[in-house]
Structure 1
Amino acid sequence: MKRQLAELSGRDGEKRAALWLRAKGWSILANRVRTPLGEIDLVARRGKLVAFVEVKWRKDKAELDHAIDERRLSRVAAAAEAVAHDYAREGEDIRIDVILLAPGSFPRHIANAWQP
């Protein structure tokens, strides 16, 4: 039951992140993209930039500082590399972003979070 609740709150966080990105001028190309290397929560485009976005939802704003780590980011980066050709056109830039969400706080968007 606890796992199901976490899954539901995660999906809600992804919907909120997508709405926030749209408000900032991004178009959402896909959500919950599954690859053999991992899952990408959102794929978004603004201009000539495609972002593969990891979304983290926490009940408490203080927990956001520890919500993402190098291991998780490397999985998202590997998954993005596997499907980048499906979303990015010739000449477009790609990057890995993170959006951190918690009740009562504005989304924290970390652009270009993965730089190997």
Structure 2
Amino acid sequence: MSESILTRKQLGELGERLAAAYLEQNGYQIHGRNWRCRTGEIDIIAMEGKVLVFVEVRTRSGRSTFGTPQESVNYKKQLQVMETAQWYIHRFQLQSLQPRFDVVSVLTDKAGQLVKLDHIQNAF
């Protein structure tokens, strides 16, 4: 039986599912996934206690010569996530909550099996 190769979209969806499961196992309450507005998308929105956590998930498969998944969250992406988070906070009247921006990096093998998951709190 040969290993199947995941498409980029399938790999991203797998990474987000793995990240959400990890967060839930660690006491986070997931409030939303793939929330979109005109400024962009937030992969996962969760609560940890009284902290509103906006999570950017980055997934890669196999060995990469392009650095770690978390290194791909550049300044431009950080600004987009922060601007989208502001829309979310305003839209749902959540100004009383403390926001935080985390990155979860997921590394899988070519068949989609989890190799490593890193959760970076207060990533930016």
TM-score tier by shorter-chain length is 0.7 to 0.9
Structure 1 residues 88 and 12: alpha-carbon distance in aligned structure 2, compared to 1, 3 A threshold: farther
Greater per-residue helix proportion: 1
**Could you tell which deviates more after superposition, 60-69 or 28-37?**
60-69
- Count residues with an aligned counterpart: 110
> For residue 50 of structure 1, what is the aligned residue in structure 2?
52
Structure 1 residues 89 and 66: alpha-carbon distance in aligned structure 2, compared to 1, 3 A threshold: closer
Greater per-residue strand proportion: 2
Unmatched segments (≥5 aa) in structure 2: 1-5, 109-114
In the aligned structure 1, how far is the partner of 2:13 from the partner of 2:28? Answer: 19
TM-score by length of 2: 0.79
What percentage of residue pairs aligned between the two structures are identical?
28
Which whole-Å deviations, capped at 9, do the CAs of 1:42-94 have from their partners, x for residues lacking one? 00001100101100001136532532211111111111111113457453211
Are the equivalent residues in 2 in contact too, given 1:45–1:51 (CA < 8 A)? yes
> For residue 34 of structure 1, what is the aligned residue in structure 2?
36
> For residue 112 of structure 1, what is the aligned residue in structure 2?
122
Instruction: Provide the alpha-carbon RMSD of the alignment.
Output: 1.9
1:91 aligns with 2:93: no
TM-score by length of 1: 0.84
**Structure with bigger gyration radius:** 2
In the aligned structure 2, how far is the partner of 1:58 from the partner of 1:12? Answer: 10
The structure 1 segments of at least 4 consecutive aligned residues displaced by more than 6 Å after TM superposition are none
Give the residue type in structure 2 aligned to 1:66.
Answer: E
